[in-house]
Structure 1
Amino acid sequence: MSSSMEGVQQAPVDAIDEGLYSRQLYVLGHKAMLAMSVSNVLIVGMKGLGVEIAKNVILAGVKSVTIYDKGLAEITDLSSQFYLQTSDIGKPRAQATVSRLAELNSYVPVSAFDGELTEQELLKYQVVVLTDVPLAEQLRVNEITHKHGIKFIASDIRGLFGSVFNDFGEEFVVNDQTGEEAIHGMVAGISSDVDGLVTCLEDHRHGLEDGDFVTFQEVQGMESLNQSTPRKITVTGPYTFKIGDTSSLGIYKTGGIFTQVKQPKILKFVPLRESLVKPEFVYSDYAKFDRPAQLLSAFHALDAFKAKHGFFPIPRHEAHAVEVLNNAIAINAQNASPVDLDEKLVKELAYQARGDLTPMAAVIGGLVAQEVLKACSGKFTPIFQHLFFDSLESLPANSNLTEQSCRPQGTRYDGLISVFGIEYFTKLSNARQFLVGAGAIGCEMLKNWAMLGLGSGPNGYIYVTDMDTIEKSNLNRQFLFRPKDVGKLKSECAAAAVAAMNPDLSGKIKSFADRVGPETEYIFGDDFWNGLTGVTNALDNVDARKYVDRRCVYYRKPLLESGTLGTKGNTQVVLPFLTESYSSSNDPPEKSIPICTLKNFPNQIEHTIQWARDKFDGLFRAPAENVNLYLTQPNYINTTLKEPGTAKDVIEGLHSFLVTDRPKSFEQCIAWGRLKFEEFHANEIAQLLFNFPTDAVTSTGTPFWSGPKRAPTVLKFDAEDPNHLDYVIAAANLHAFNFGLKGERDPKYFKTVLAGISVPKFEPRSGVKIQVQENENIQSQSTDASELQALVDSLPSPATLAGFKLHPCDFEKDDDSNFHIDFITAASNLRASNYSIATADRLRTKFIAGKIIPAIATTTALVTGLVCLELFKIIDGKTKLDDYKNGFVNLALPFFGFSEPIACPKFKYHDKEWTLWDRFDVHGNLTLKQLIDKFKDEHELEITMLSSGVSMLYSFFMQKAKREERLNMTIIDLIESISKKPVPSDVTALVLEVCVNDRDGEDVEVPYVRIVVR
């Protein structure tokens, strides 16, 4: 056995590097990750599929990965094996690959085994994955693994076809079938009868399903329900469900929280030999419901051909395809439930048997890697037991593929040419594609493009842009980057990495470090966009996606969209004149937390985390920024005083930071932190309970503290309480950072200083108003103008503070040393303790406060593979809507959903139909009158209003003199006279919005006007 162990970091079994795995932890959780960290995985076959699986599994962080492949690297392997190079041809594939795989994750030892896969050897592994292995060997290995409870996966790709088989043993326990967060909600009532009808708070749907189990906490009147075992429910409505007989539990009074309890599920897998006769299928595309059973026989028949001849069928060789078909017919007849075989489908598999496509390796490799993680951890539902996938729609539509056009060329692209033909490859290699974003999806996309040779031809090119630099947390899923790249530009590193994978891209890929937006249109201008074949987004924010989408609509370029969220992924195809655009539909806005809930009545940890996040900005960012503005802007105070809604807070913040709370030592920062604890977690709570005692009732006689309102308790500071001490440590260090003072971390030092700090006694005051309802307009405690002016007068003048500058804390979630997440975690948990809410650990707090998108390499790989399968169609120039597919996947279930893209909506004026892709193209710098006459004469439309951006150029309600003055002005002169700025010389066309009346004088909607002026 040879290995590549250099630089492997050994971590304690129960330790997880959260800096590296943070995004994945939000998907899998600590328990699953710890189970993975003690799992040894064997992956057999190091062609494109095998290396893709290995890459994803290593990034995920199992205990060890062993690769096995005695075959020698061939030129055709370079079609999809991204860790092989031309210099490796003739060498053992595993030996040539192992060191490059080992670079992916320093926590995962990677070795290459070159012995025999005996029963004794297989016993070393918890999971065994076979790729590109004959059926007879699959059966032999599976007999051993099934007998010993070793999880077994067999997978293969052939051209545009893929297969997966799982055998996880006779009793495989799935601990969490979906990975979704457990549902919880507040109880409004529970009946005391044989049904036990639970009613939820009004307007709070419970979201449960029949057969779910729930537990209860904080129920008053039926206290024994709080300690009972989980109860199985029956749903009776969106706000009600039954839990069974509660007649002996007493009478419900108030309160209560229900929490869904996930029940483990046991799956009984059968071995491969038995499953071939009586298979169970997971369907990857319900539009192809009849294919899995056919493809099971077809793959079996293809294996029989290889076993007989020693090679796979020659591409488009009719006699070979007929032999495979005859094999399939014979095998199908022996099955327990024979099916009707589609001869064309079976022969297509034979035609493509030598095909090796990196997008298919990405799809199946991402899928199989996720199955490995399921096998290790019991997290999510595995494939039970066969899955087949194909993308025959990606084949060229009108080309006549022949044995001659698909014959090998002796190049790295033969795996592609054997499926698509040489003519198609020439078109693909001369494409000019723009990738926006070089993060997780961007890295995978570039790898796929490099293996395909996209842009490598004489007229081809790849452009990639990303303004971000590489961070440690990126390394877990952005596989082109290494620890040495941290701090460097993503676009540059990614471009260099894929050019090394395929030297044909040297000089054919250009990286930018610019955001694609209005401010960079001088970089990405008309010539740039007009020269593109298409655009692919790999972005993580909606606004940027919408901007690129608008550019694609304007320049009429196809756009490929995709995104991931944990185990979920989606793809969207945007096609000129065929589909709606990305911006045509929007997700519903994120539900906001009511202000009164945040300020006074939290009932969930999400409420306290948002409160703490707001406090972070209010204490450590905004006041420091305001001080710097005060010191640098002469009219800052006068401007601030004109804003009554914010003046008081700003002035008091200035006074605090420049007068009362300006520290001269770190000990004063500790005292400040201790007083903030008292202010927020004792005094404010005491004032709230003074206004609304625990026994307060409303005007209707119902208890005030009921429903979503939880009565709080005052916290008493205890330096021995870790959360109390953590709060002061974080607050003091952040306050010190604001003032440029050196901080401290030693808890003993803090306890010593805290022992000498006295805290003034607080007495609640009458007349303090507290917001109870969201629609109440409770102003902050009034400060009259004279008091505010007194605060202003007491501020030191900017002149006396020459050279003084504060350091605002700009929230950064991924720096574990800056105390940002530490403060928010401590503050949130203290407030949660005030309100008897279950606290959250640092990781969960970071996830919510940082609005982190959970991510995992497996989903990213699969989604980019699906995008590239659609790119094949775009390069081919397919023009029918039903040729394309939008996709949604959830690897946790697993679920695949594909649908035809939504057609672009059609509008109409007169008898003319138009869509968002249409416009009025007008050439020449016409006068306004000429433009109006042109619309009247050519389109029978009367222009009633014309605008350019925010500038109104013409309207029917303008004064007559102004209208007539403008009629003889050219459009450029008109725009420049209104905006007071010249039209830039590089602008070749102007976009105008137009309102018109049709021939009947009715207002109608029409496309925009594009005036080509240069």
Structure 2
Amino acid sequence: MSTTMEGIQQGPVDAIDEGLYSRQLYVLGKTAMLAMSVSNVLIVGLKGLGAEIAKNVILAGVKSVTLHDRGHVEITDLSSQFYLNHSDVGKPRAQATVARLAELNSYVPVSVYDGDLTEAELLKYQVVVLTDVPLAEQLRINEITHRNNIKFIASDIRGLFGSVFNDFGEAFVVTDQTGEEPVSGMVAGISAEENGLVTCLEDHRHGLEDGDYVTFQEVQGMEALNGCEPRKVSVSGPYTFKIGDTSNLGNYKTGGIFTQVKQPKTLKFHSLKDSLKAPEFVYSDFAKFDRPTQLLIGFQALDAFKAKHSVLPLPRNEAHATEVFNNALAINAQSANPIDLDEKLIKELAFQARGDLTPMAAVIGGLVAQEVLKACSGKFCPIYQHLFFDSLESLPSSSALTEQSCRPQGTRYDGIIAVFGYDFFTKLTNARQFLVGAGAIGCEMLKNWAMLGLGSGPEGYIYVTDMDTIEKSNLNRQFLFRPKDVGRLKSECAASAVEAMNPDLRNKIKSFADRVGPDTENIFGDEFWEGLTGVTNALDNVDARKYVDRRCVYYRKSLLESGTLGTKGNTQVVLPGVTESYSSSNDPPEKSIPICTLKNFPNQIEHTIQWARDVFDGLFRGPAENVNMYLTQPNFVTTTLKEPGSAKETIESIHHMLVTDRPKSFEQCVAWARFKFQDYYHNQIAQLLYNFPVDAVTSTGTPFWSGPKRAPTKIVFDAEDPLHLDFIIAAANLYAFNFGLKGERDKKYFQTVLATIHVPEFQPKTGVKIQVQENENVQTQSTDASELEDLVKALPSPSSLPGYKLQPADFEKDDDSNFHIDFITAASNLRASNYNIANADRLKTKFIAGKIIPAIATTTALVTGLVCLELFKIIDGKTKIEDYKNGFINLALPFFGFSEPIAAPKFKYHETEWTLWDRFDIVGNLTLKQLIEKFKNDYELEITMLSSGVSMLYSFFMQKAKMQERLNMTIIELIESISKKPVPPHVKAIVLEVCVNDRTGEDVEVPYVRIVVR
């Protein structure tokens, strides 16, 4: 018998709602998504782990999800099952969960099956996932799935331990092992020899590895390589690689692009029965290399205990743990390759067996859900075949764990108390945590905190802030939100959602809609920060992360940092006085595209997309903003004329918008767009080819159009060409938007109007300079003062246009109706066509132009779980750096890497060591003279310079009269005197930077100064 949730949106198999799935599409690709959309998934077991897996799989967008769980809701289920509440206790677990899971994604039918799992039933599914299922039943079901080529996954969590097993059949094809974009590059030479050597352009590393395959295009002289069967690569250097025999292909002349071709890989999986005898492991932590073999036996021993007693061992019960260990000894003795069992580890597994922790469910549930998607699609390498994970380091060391301290309390938190004990649980409830961001990571974090009861105690509290509102594209991974929430504040919705999950948090969460930054220090001030237990970032930009990091260093608060990029995720622990801060290390800056490449010599689609993005701002945003400033700011022209570098462009843009190109009808917008097409894709290219003909050579005799320079061709406009028409439609509508004119979408209308427009033939001009080198300074045609004055005089006076205002088009990537991405896609692809560069579809263009971060719910869930495992350590008060772990994961490979955080670098003055966490703390509003004397008397340091922000308060080279005047002023008086504005009343302390000489007269680095003045 089964029940199905109604109201499901059904569409064609090849239809993917890009508005909903856009961020995930950039991770998985359309082919994988389509494969998922025809896959039926069965999930058995609906406790915390099963619900987490189901949530992530439903969000991802498979064809259907069927739930199976014959158990009834128990109070302890509420420790981790976020879709159950007190009123569900006693009800069938699957039936109580199904409606809430079905709300996640209207495209995925979610149903309950409560019959027997017979072979006939299992044949309905492409993937079967088992959680909290006895080993005997796992073996029975796996025998059926293996025989019928149904993908099988079994997984469990027991306290701080987790296990995963995969069996994807005897011939599972992995179509893309990494998910990375195929490597591509330009060829500088190919030798005609037995081991053909390919040389890349100078300073362009090929990025290939031994065993990769490549094919070629645009090679001249060895044309047989163009479109050839993929050739296996042997890397000989960062700029060279060999492709096998090329001796019979003629002689290389010029040109060529190589492209990596990904090869499918076939994996043979063994059944669970066979795999238990000869297991293959994926290691989740290389520092625990011996754990998997121990835990493989330990989980079987635990299953044997439950099979005998029908329950798991009691928390911290020595007799039960001893029985589990004896089971392990018996299983080990029957093994073909017995090992030395770790009694302490096996007993710890037994001690924690009744533990049920949301962070562990998040880690293993995110991991397993990604394995489900791999099973459906063949995208990325699956776990082969066993994986075990534990976080024993998260156990509290501040209090002894006993059977008494871990005994059940008859509450929703028993699954937590079973692992950590009641004393630590009390610490957890009294924590005061600040979550910065309520997006994907923020939603998952709040869910974990709510299930743990974090902040629910008498002294506890949760603060969350996010200034963003909910968009449709958020719903695919920010699982606390529903379609009805679109447009509402994320922080408010997220707080309300987790209060519903755990009513103990009512009146214990405060949501803000404020950015955390210098402009909100009156909101997030000293009292706020000093009252926190710690801070967790859930941000999506580096600048905000760095600001929060600085605040945490200043207030000496712990910071948990994390981020995701597709299937990749990272976590970082920042511990006061112990580790470096987030800002201590920076990613290298993004490599910028040279201006000459963008303007004249693109050779990649990324170049043309960036060019189109710049054109968008130059046509539809900047000029409209200039007009509005001209009409509203009386001194705008005068000020602009004082800036010779930009005056001409600014005044001309206003003149065009208000005089020469100001449309009065939409037809004129169409004509404007047609002339822009002619200018960009015909006239400018004609001028470029006039300056540098196709057969041009350099002063050294080499062809000008060689290497990265691709000779362009002019485009002749054709109103029947869809790409040409797309440009006109988008450009005309955007221009009409600037002027508040009603647009049009009908293609026949445009073709009719275009037929009436006459475009004059372009004649290239002599004397036009074109920038060829990046460092070359090409002067544009200058405009003398009289020409600019004439342009200004021709402008209508602002008084003649009272209330007139243009509408700038601020780029917005996620609104499919605003023509923004339509314009950039058409503009970029037309320019790519000029230069014979392969066009990009709308989705790829949106990804690059919008600088979209690929995202998927599976990675987010796993990363937040890892963060919470570190939060346990912080709340426990652990201070040893080796107790903590920074993590990096890549679910595509899959890869897990953990390391100790980096210690805070130490500095020294005199005999005193200090780190970034140290400072000079001084109380009282001292005068400048008193401060100088204090440093001399207390620290034997001579202040040579003193500053606050950008204000220099004191320096040894200051004029004597000014110095004397300042010495008797208090620090506040001095700052207010220089800045000409009062120190805000919320500021309780002043931060000063000092330069000092030590007792030997040498300049030394010292911490900053913090003076408490109020």
Q: Secondary structure at the match of 2:258?
A: strand
Q: How does 1:238-257 map to 2 (within 5 A)?
A: 238-257=238-257
TM-fit CA distance, 1:937 = 1.1
For residues 453-498 of structure 1, the C-alpha deviation after alignment (integer angstroms, 9 at most, x for no partner) is 0000001000000000000000000000000000000000000000
Q: Secondary structure at the match of 1:194?
A: coil
Cross-structure match for 2:377: 377
- CA–CA distance in 2 between the matches of 1:227 and 1:611? 29
Asked if the contact 1:278/1:335 (under 8 Å) is kept, the reply is no
For residues 305-334 of structure 1, the C-alpha deviation after alignment (integer angstroms, 9 at most, x for no partner) is 000111100000001101111111121222
Cross-structure match for 2:789: 789
Asked if the contact 2:456/2:504 (under 8 Å) is kept, the reply is yes
Moved more, 671-680 or 784-793: 784-793
Cross-structure match for 2:411: 411
Cross-structure match for 2:699: 699
Cross-structure match for 2:819: 819
Cross-structure match for 2:190: 190
In structure 2, what residue type is equivalent to 1:732? A
Cross-structure match for 2:724: 724
In structure 2, what residue type is equivalent to 1:263? Q
Q: How does 1:450-465 map to 2 (within 5 A)?
A: 450-465=450-465
TM-fit CA distance, 1:987 = 1.6
Cross-structure match for 1:445: 445
- CA–CA distance in 2 between the matches of 1:216 and 1:825? 26
Cross-structure match for 2:646: 646
Cross-structure match for 2:494: 494
For residues 962-986 of structure 1, the C-alpha deviation after alignment (integer angstroms, 9 at most, x for no partner) is 2222222211121122222222222
- CA–CA distance in 2 between the matches of 1:479 and 1:227? 45
- CA–CA distance in 1 between the matches of 2:964 and 2:781? 57
Asked if the contact 1:429/1:457 (under 8 Å) is kept, the reply is yes
- CA–CA distance in 2 between the matches of 1:228 and 1:61? 37
- CA–CA distance in 2 between the matches of 1:292 and 1:664? 74
- CA–CA distance in 1 between the matches of 2:589 and 2:375? 37
- CA–CA distance in 2 between the matches of 1:443 and 1:390? 24
Q: Secondary structure at the match of 2:644?
A: coil
Cross-structure match for 1:17: 17
- CA–CA distance in 1 between the matches of 2:351 and 2:365? 22
TM-fit CA distance, 1:504 = 0.1
TM-fit CA distance, 1:639 = 1.3
- CA–CA distance in 1 between the matches of 2:121 and 2:346? 37
RMSD of aligned residue pairs (Cα, Å): 0.7
Asked if the contact 1:451/1:502 (under 8 Å) is kept, the reply is yes
Q: How does 1:336-351 map to 2 (within 5 A)?
A: 336-351=336-351
TM-fit CA distance, 1:172 = 0.1
- CA–CA distance in 2 between the matches of 1:309 and 1:699? 89
Q: Secondary structure at the match of 2:29?
A: helix
For residues 753-773 of structure 1, the C-alpha deviation after alignment (integer angstroms, 9 at most, x for no partner) is 111111111000000000000
- CA–CA distance in 2 between the matches of 1:938 and 1:394? 42
Moved more, 973-982 or 142-151: 973-982
Q: How does 1:428-827 map to 2 (within 5 A)?
A: 428-827=428-827
Asked if the contact 2:564/2:860 (under 8 Å) is kept, the reply is yes
- CA–CA distance in 2 between the matches of 1:554 and 1:877? 19
TM-fit CA distance, 1:342 = 1.1
Structure 1's unaligned 5+ residue stretches are: none
TM-fit CA distance, 1:782 = 2.2
Q: Secondary structure at the match of 1:467?
A: coil
Cross-structure match for 1:996: 996
- CA–CA distance in 1 between the matches of 2:66 and 2:539? 34
Cross-structure match for 2:231: 231
- CA–CA distance in 1 between the matches of 2:567 and 2:55? 17
Moved more, 566-575 or 783-792: 783-792
Q: Secondary structure at the match of 1:328?
A: helix
- CA–CA distance in 2 between the matches of 1:536 and 1:434? 6
For residues 771-803 of structure 1, the C-alpha deviation after alignment (integer angstroms, 9 at most, x for no partner) is 000001112222222222222211111111112
In structure 2, what residue type is equivalent to 1:251? N
Residue 878 of structure 2 is aligned to residue 878 of structure 1: yes
List, as ranges, runs of 4+ consecutive aligned residues in structure 1 with deviation greater than 6 Å.
none
Q: Secondary structure at the match of 1:953?
A: strand
Residue 914 of structure 2 is aligned to residue 914 of structure 1: yes
- CA–CA distance in 1 between the matches of 2:956 and 2:883? 46
Q: How does 1:874-953 map to 2 (within 5 A)?
A: 874-953=874-953
In structure 1, what residue type is equivalent to 2:575? L
Asked if the contact 1:131/1:154 (under 8 Å) is kept, the reply is yes
Cross-structure match for 2:167: 167
- CA–CA distance in 2 between the matches of 1:664 and 1:976? 54
- CA–CA distance in 2 between the matches of 1:974 and 1:853? 46
State the identity as a percent. 84
For residues 937-977 of structure 1, the C-alpha deviation after alignment (integer angstroms, 9 at most, x for no partner) is 11111111111111111111111222222222211121122
Q: Secondary structure at the match of 2:645?
A: coil
- CA–CA distance in 1 between the matches of 2:228 and 2:923? 78
For residues 616-663 of structure 1, the C-alpha deviation after alignment (integer angstroms, 9 at most, x for no partner) is 000000000000011111111121111121111111111111111111
- CA–CA distance in 1 between the matches of 2:771 and 2:483? 50
Cross-structure match for 2:264: 264
TM-score (norm. length: structure 1):
1.00
In structure 2, what residue type is equivalent to 1:869? L
- CA–CA distance in 2 between the matches of 1:420 and 1:506? 24
TM-fit CA distance, 1:2 = 3.8
Asked if the contact 2:936/2:942 (under 8 Å) is kept, the reply is yes
Cross-structure match for 2:152: 152
In structure 1, what residue type is equivalent to 2:648? K
TM-score (norm. length: structure 2):
1.00
In structure 2, what residue type is equivalent to 1:804? Y
Asked if the contact 1:4/1:99 (under 8 Å) is kept, the reply is no
Asked if the contact 1:44/1:131 (under 8 Å) is kept, the reply is yes
In structure 2, what residue type is equivalent to 1:659? V
For residues 144-169 of structure 1, the C-alpha deviation after alignment (integer angstroms, 9 at most, x for no partner) is 00000000000000000000000000
In structure 2, what residue type is equivalent to 1:774? E
Q: How does 1:846-857 map to 2 (within 5 A)?
A: 846-857=846-857
Asked if the contact 2:398/2:877 (under 8 Å) is kept, the reply is no
- CA–CA distance in 2 between the matches of 1:257 and 1:782? 40
In structure 2, what residue type is equivalent to 1:271? S
- CA–CA distance in 2 between the matches of 1:345 and 1:89? 34
Cross-structure match for 2:84: 84
For residues 307-365 of structure 1, the C-alpha deviation after alignment (integer angstroms, 9 at most, x for no partner) is 01111000000011011111111212222322221111100000000000000000000
- CA–CA distance in 1 between the matches of 2:823 and 2:569? 33
Asked if the contact 2:942/2:996 (under 8 Å) is kept, the reply is yes
Asked if the contact 1:178/1:893 (under 8 Å) is kept, the reply is yes
Asked if the contact 1:174/1:267 (under 8 Å) is kept, the reply is yes
Asked if the contact 1:887/1:896 (under 8 Å) is kept, the reply is yes
- CA–CA distance in 2 between the matches of 1:446 and 1:454? 9
For residues 882-928 of structure 1, the C-alpha deviation after alignment (integer angstroms, 9 at most, x for no partner) is 00000000000000000000000000000100000000001111111
Cross-structure match for 1:291: 291
Moved more, 2-11 or 246-255: 2-11
Cross-structure match for 1:327: 327
